[in-house]
Structure 1
Amino acid sequence: MRFSIIGVLLGLMLLAPAHAHYIWVEREATGAAKVYFGYWHRGIVEETGGRLDNIQAAIVLPDSLKVSAERRPDHIRLDTTHQGDLAVVEPIVPRAMRQATSVTRTTLMARAGRSEVKSLLELDLVPDAPGSNRFTLLFRGEPLARTRVIAYGPPRWEKSLATDEDGRVELETPWAGQYLVGVNHAVEEGGEVAGVKFDASRYNLVLSFSVDEGIRWSEAD
Structure 2
Amino acid sequence: MKRLTAFALAFTAMTTQAHMLWLERGADQKTLAYFGEYGENLTETQQGPLQAFNSSKAVQGKKELTAQVNNNNLSYATQGTADVRVNNDLVHGDMLAQFRAKAGRQEIKAISELEIVPTTANSNQFTIIFQGKPLAKQEVTIISPQRWEKKYISNEQGQFTVDTPWKGQYVLEIGKGVDEAGEYNKQAYKNRYLVATLSFNVN
Q: TM-score, normalised by structure 2?
A: 0.87
Q: Is the 1:85–1:115 Cα contact (8 Å) retained in structure 2? A: yes
CA distance in 2 between partners of 1:160 and 1:17 (Å) = 20
After TM superposition, the structure 1 = structure 2 runs for residues 24-173 of structure 1, keeping only pairs within 5 Å, are 24-62=22-60, 64-95=62-93, 103-173=94-164
Letter in 1 for 2:114: L
SS of residue matched to 1:92 = strand
Unaligned runs of 5+ in 1: 1-15, 96-102, 213-221
Shift of 1:197: 1.8
Q: Which amino acid aligns with 1:211?
A: V
How far the C-alpha of 1:20 sits from its partner, in A, is 1.5
Cα distance change on mapping 1:82 and 1:90 into 2, 3 Å:
farther
> Structure 1 residues 74, 177: CA separation in 2 closer, same or farther (over 3 Å shift)?
same
Deviations along 1:135-161, one digit per CA (max 9) or x if unpaired, are 010012111110110111111100111
1:82 CA displacement: 4.5
The one-letter amino acid of 1:44's match is L
Provide the aligned C-alpha RMSD in A: 1.8
Tell me the matched-pair count. 190
Larger radius of gyration: 1
User: 2:178 matched to which residue of 1?
Assistant: 187
TM-fit CA distance, 1:53: 0.8
Structure 2 unmatched ranges of 5 or more:
1-13
The superposition leaves residues 79-108 of structure 1 with CA deviations (integer Å, 9 ceiling, x where unpaired) of 12252111110101232xxxxxxx221101
Cα offset, 1:192, TM superposition: 1.4
Find the aligned partners of 2:186 and 2:123 in 1 and give their Cα distance: 43
| Alpha-carbon distance, 1:178 to partner | 0.6
Q: TM-score, normalised by structure 1?
A: 0.80
- Give distance in 1, aligned partners of 2:102 and 2:15: 15
CA contact (8 A) 1:62 1:87 kept: yes
Q: Distance in 1 between matches of 2:88 and 2:59?
A: 12
Q: Which amino acid aligns with 1:127?
A: P
State the percentage of identical aligned residues: 31
